[in-house]
Amino acid sequence: MQSSEVVLINLSKQSLKKNYTHERLYRILYNPHMYIKAFSNIYSNNGSATAGIDGKTASNFSEELINSIIISIKDESYQPSPSKRVNIPKKNGKTRPLSIPSFTDRIVQEICRLILEAIYEPQFSISSHGFRPNKSCHTALMEIDRIYTGVNWFIEGDIKGFFDNIKHHKLIEILGKTIKDEKFLRLIRKFLKAGYIEDFKFNKTYTGTPQGGIISPILANIYLNELDKYILDDLKKEFDLGNPKAQQRNPVYRNLEYQVSQLRKKIEASDNEKERNNLILQFKDLKSKKANTPTISNSKGYKRLKYVRYADDFLIGVNGSKEDCIKLKQTIKDFLNQELELELSNDKTLITHSSKNARFLGYDISIGNNNTPYKNKQGGKIRCARRNVRLMMPKEVIEKFIVKHKLVKDINANKWMPICRTPLIRLSDLEIINVFNAEIRGIYNYYRLAENVTHKMWQLRYVMEYSCIKTLAGKHHSSVRKTFKKHRYGTHWGIKYQTKTGEAVCYFYNKGFPRNRTTSKNDDPDLKPNVMKYMSRTELEKRISAKKCEWCGKEDVPFEIHHVKRLKDVKGKDWWEQQMIARNRKTLVLCFDCHRKIAHGSRT
C-alpha cells in the first residue's frame, strides 16, 4: 500500500492537468495508512472527545476498527450513522443547528475530505477564502483592502439559507464533472442522506449539508465554486471595459499645475516686497486648490468588477453606475436560481455607495475620499491618499459585547458604570482575570485590521478592567481601591500564582491595541497549489505505524489509542497519566492488555 502522502500528492498533481477526470478514487479507502492520517488530523480537536450517537470517541480508535471499516467499505455495506443534532446560539439571538457525526463517520469523512481537497484545491478561485487551508476572514478582508481601491459601489451578497438548501442531486452532478467513480459518489450521497437525531427522533435529510460535518465545508466550496467561475470567468470579462492605462491626467489639475509653476517663477523674479507678498498669497491659494483636485480623470466607459467570497457571503466592488449594480445583482440572482437552485436574500443583498459603509465579515468597509491636505514630516502640505479602502470596527460591536456580558449598569447612560460580573465570582482569582484577558484578546485579534481598533478597544478595556476589579472585590468582600492596591505590581496590576519554577504574575491585559496588518504578508494566496503539506507524516502517524506499545514495549501487536480531551485535566496520579505529562501528549499508543489496565484503573 502507498503511504497517504504519496496518494494525496499524486491526486494534487493530476488536478493541475486541464480537464483531468479522476477515476478509481474509492479504492483509496482500502488503504489503512489513510485512516491513520485521518485520525492524526482530527484527534487533537476538542470534538474528538465528543461522542456521536454510537457513543464512540477518539479512545476507540484501533487497528481492529480500521479493519472493520475497510471490510464494510469494500463490499459497500458501510452506512453512515445519523448525526446527533444540537442547537447553538447565534449573535442575533437565534440558534444554528450543529450536527455531530459518529466517530467512525468522522474518520471516513476526513479521508473523503483529504481526497476532495487534493483534487479541488488547485481548481478553487483565489477570491474564495472560506474553509480553505491558509485562508481566513482576515485574508478575505486584506484582499478587499488590496484590490478594491477606487470602486464606486458595493454589492453585499448573501445566499438565503445556503447550507440548508444545497441540492444533493446538483452537488453530485457538479462532482461528477471531475470525478468518474460511481462508488465514491455513492459514498458521498450516503453522507448527505444519513439524516440526524434530534430529541430522540430520527429526521431524514433531503437537502443541505450538515453544519458540523467534517466533509460539509469542502462540499459547500465545491458547490459555490460554480458561482466563482461564473462571476470571474464570464460576468467579469463581459462587464469590464476600458483600459486603466488609458486614463488621462485631469485637465483642470494640469492647468493648476501650470499656474503654480508660473507663479513660482514670478515670485523668484520679483524685487518688490509688496508684489511678492501678494504673489505668495496667490501661490498658496493655488497650491491648496491643486492639492484638492484629482490628478486623474477616468477614461470614458471605464468599468471594473471585483469579487471576494467567504463561505456564502460575498462582496462585489463595482467601478460603474448604480444601474450597472442593479443589472449585476439580477444576473447573479438568475444564475443562482437556474444553475444552482439557490436564492439570493433580498433583505441582505444590498447595493451600497462606496462613500457609505458596507458590512462584510463583521467589518464596516468604505472608500475614503478625504480632500484635506496634511503636513508631512518636512512641514510641507501634501495630498491625502484618496479613494483607498477603509476597514472599520463597527461602533455597535463594543456595545453589544457589553450588553451580552452585563458589564455596565446602564448601556444608555451618558457615562458607563462598570459592574461586578456575579456569575464569575465562583471562579478563582486567576481564572477570573484569565476570562477577561481572553475576551479582550479575542475581540482585538479579530478586529486588529481596523483603522479605529485602538480607540474602540481602549474604550472596552476601561470597562473590562473596572468590571474585573469589581468582580474580584465582590468575591473577597473588599473595595475597588483596596483590591487595586493589593494586586498592583509597578505600573500594572495582576494576580500572583505558583508555577514549577516559582511565583509568577498574570497581569491584566497591558499590551495595547496597535493596528496590525501583518496578515497581508503571510497569507497572500498562492497561484500554484501547495503540495508540500502532504509530504511529511505527523509524529502521531509515525507512532501508530510503528506498532509498538508505548508502555510495555511489545512490538508488532495490534494497536489501540488511549486519548484524553485536555492534557491539563490529567492529574498525574496513575502511571499512564505520568507518561502523558512527561511526553506532553494527549494520546498513548498501547497494546490490548495495557489499554485494559488503564480502563480498569490499574496503577502497576
Q: pTM value?
A: 0.80
Q: Using pLDDT thresholds of 50, 70 and 90, give the confidence band for residue 525.
A: very low
In sequence order, what E strands does 354-501 have?
A: 358-360, 363-367, 374-375, 381-382, 389-392, 488-489, 492-499
Q: Which domains does the chain have, with CATH numbers?
A: 4-123+167-207 (no CATH), 127-164+214-247+299-392 (3.30.70.270), 251-292 (no CATH), 395-535 (no CATH), 538-600 (no CATH)
pLDDT grade for 529, boundaries at 50, 70 and 90: very low
491, three cell numbers: 505600573
Percent of the chain surpassing pLDDT 70: 85
Angle between helix 216-229 and helix 168-178 axes, rounded to 10 deg: 70
For 179, list phi and psi in degrees, rounded to 5: -110, 115
Output the pLDDT for position 581. 63
Cα 82 to Cα 69: distance, rounded to the nearest angstrom = 17
189 C-beta neighbours (distance < 10 Å), count: 15
φ, ψ of residue 55 to 5 degrees: the values are: 80, 0
Q: Under a CB-based contact definition with an 8 Å cutoff, are residues 111 and 38 in contact?
A: yes
The residues that bridge with 296 in the sheet, in sequence order, are 249
pLDDT tens-place string over residues 218-267? 999 999 999 999 999 999 999 988 776 555 667 888 888 899 899 888 88
Q: Which residues are registered as beta bridge partners of 427? A: none
- Would the pLDDT of 332 be above 90? yes
pLDDT reading at 316 higher than 60: yes
Segment 113-137, tens digit of pLDDT: 999 999 999 999 999 999 998 899 9
> Residue 592 above 50 pLDDT?
yes
Query: What confidence category does residue 431 fall into, taking pLDDT thresholds of 50, 70 and 90?
Result: very high
Q: Are 539 and 564 in contact (CB under 8 A)?
A: no
244-248, 326-330, 370-374: range with lowest mean pLDDT: 244-248
pLDDT at 300 over 70: no
Average pLDDT, the chain: 85
Identify the pLDDT of residue 576. 61
Distance CA 414, CA 597 (A): 64
> Is the pLDDT confidence value at 109 over 90?
yes
Q: Locate cell 481564572: which residue?
A: 431
Judge whether 356 and 338 are in contact, CB under 8 Å. no
Residue 309 and residue 128 in contact, taking contact as beta carbons nearer than 8 Å: yes
Banded model confidence at residue 566, pLDDT cuts 50, 70, 90: low
The confidence score (pLDDT) of residue 571 equals: 61
Q: Are 88 and 496 in contact (CB under 8 A)?
A: no
Q: What's the rounded Cα separation, in Å, for the pair 226 and 167?
A: 14
CB distance 597 to 603 below 8 Å: no
Does the pLDDT at position 601 exceed 70? no
Range with lowest mean pLDDT among 181-190, 379-388, 464-473, 571-580: 571-580
Of 241-255, 294-308, 557-571, the poorest mean pLDDT is in: 557-571
CA distance 590 to 570: 18
CA dist 541 and 37 (Å) reads 6
Query: Which pLDDT does position 115 carry in this prediction?
Result: 96
The model's pLDDT over 159-194, given as tens digits with 9 standing for 90+, comes to 998 988 999 999 999 999 999 999 999 999 999 999
Residue 282 reports pLDDT greater than 70: yes
pLDDT band for 534, please (50, 70, 90 cuts).
very low
Residue 95 burial (C-beta neighbours within 10 Å; 0-12, 13-18, 19+): exposed
How confident is the model over 6-24, as pLDDT tens digits?
899 999 999 888 889 999 9
Mean pLDDT lowest for which of 305-314, 493-502, 514-523?
514-523
pLDDT of residue 270: 86
Any idea how long the chain is?
A: 604
pLDDT digits (tens, 9 = 90+) for 38-73: 988 887 666 655 677 777 777 778 888 899 999 999
Integer-rounded Cα radius of gyration of the chain:
30
Note the Cα 590 to chain centre separation in Å.
36
Please determine, for residue 276, whether its predicted confidence score (pLDDT) is greater than 70. Answer: yes
Q: How much is the average pLDDT of 207-216?
A: 85
